[in-house]
Amino acid sequence: MATAQPTERHEEIQFRQLLEEAVTKPGTLMKAYSLFWNYSLGNQILALIQANNRGIPLGPIASFNRWKELGRYVKKGQKAIELCMPVTVKRTVKETGPDGNDVEIEVPFRRFVFRRNWFMLSQTDGAAYQLPAIPAWDRTRALSALAVEEIPFDMLNGNCQGYAKGRQIAINPLAQLPIKTTLHELAHIELGHTSEAIHDSDTTPRSLREVEAESVALLCLESLGMDGAEFCRGYIQNWLQGETIPERSAQRIFSAADQILKAGIERQSQGGPE
């Protein structure tokens, strides 16, 4: 019988590679999202790559135990798909106490681990399975769920497509691609760009802010099959100026895109095989 086996390989996770896979191969994300929309974007790509590399027919994916709940069992000899899962652990750090002496305290620390515990529908057998409908993404719902207010566009520069400040966005009524612009500005907010202090030494450089926000817009557009992704690629390369996206930024990009995509889906529709 097939079994689920956890593995921990934190040092091998490279979100930059997943991001490159997503942005350089048009259609990859749309295919992954249509099949695995209830998982994170990073895991969608991971599942798709593994299935393609191993010749596994694409289909819904669920954990070993979830398939059992659905009346299906994993076929003998099938190897599980690995997905990346966040876990919170505690680590001990030293701090100076009120009396000036060093004290040890435990603080929560988030890291990622790989776990082999998921199987494609084609790797299972048993009761009939009905593929759930892909939930629609709604702009108004996303703004509400993210607690973002849309305000009138009042910038005199007609070339500006939109802007974000605090938790507000404004979209030029004449914007060429209003949804793309909306996603870009929402990304600035979810990435924390609009809350950074002007004189903060840790402020993200503008070039990287633009790369991060446009990459989020690209991931969302590609996932939802909306127009504008081709313009995102040129914009990103223009701001990168031959540089590569840092690993930390790639992680932030995936996280923000996940938040925006899930915010636009009805809560009761966020089910699926898992």
Token pair in block for residue 112: 């990622």
Same domain, 178 and 251: yes
Q: How many domains does the chain fold into?
A: 2
**Could you tell me the residue range of the domain that residue 13 belongs to?**
5-84+114-126
* Residue 111 dihedral angles phi and psi, to the nearest 5°: -140, 175
Percent of the chain with pLDDT strictly greater than 90: 59
The domain boundary, picked from 126, 159, 179, lies at 126
Same domain, 160 and 262: yes
Same domain, 185 and 249: yes
Same domain, 189 and 250: yes
Non-local (6+) Cβ contacts of 244 within 8 A are: 16
| Placement of tokens 């993200």 in the chain | 204
- The CA distance from 233 to 98, in Å, is 52
Same domain, 76 and 120: yes
The domain boundary, picked from 73, 103, 126, lies at 126
**Type of residue found at 152:** P
Instruction: Choose between 151 and 134: higher pLDDT.
Output: 151
Residue 237 counted as domain residue: yes
Same domain, 41 and 71: yes
Same domain, 118 and 152: no
Same domain, 120 and 41: yes
Cα 210 to chain centroid distance, Å, stands at 17
Residue 102 counted as domain residue: no
Same domain, 160 and 79: no
Same domain, 75 and 149: no
Reported as a single tens digit per residue, the pLDDT across 20-50 is 888 788 888 899 999 999 899 999 999 999 9
DSSP string, 183-248: HHHHHHHHTTGGGS-TT-TTPPPHHHHHHHHHHHHHHHHHHHT-TTHHHHHHHHHHHHTT----HH
Report whether pLDDT(8) > 70. no
| Lowest mean pLDDT segment, chosen from 108-117, 133-142, 244-253 | 108-117
Residue 21 counted as domain residue: yes
Q: Which helix (H) or strand (E) holds 68?
A: helix 64-69
Reported as a single tens digit per residue, the pLDDT across 179-201 is 999 999 999 999 999 987 544 44
- Exposure of 246 in the CB half-sphere (CA atoms within 13 A): 9
The domain boundary, picked from 102, 126, 150, lies at 126
Burial class of residue 34 (count of CB atoms within 10 Å of its CB; 0-12, 13-18, 19+): middle
Residue 19 counted as domain residue: yes
| Lowest mean pLDDT segment, chosen from 63-67, 126-130, 205-209, 263-267 | 263-267
Residue 53 counted as domain residue: yes
C-beta separation of 3 from 235 below 8 A: no
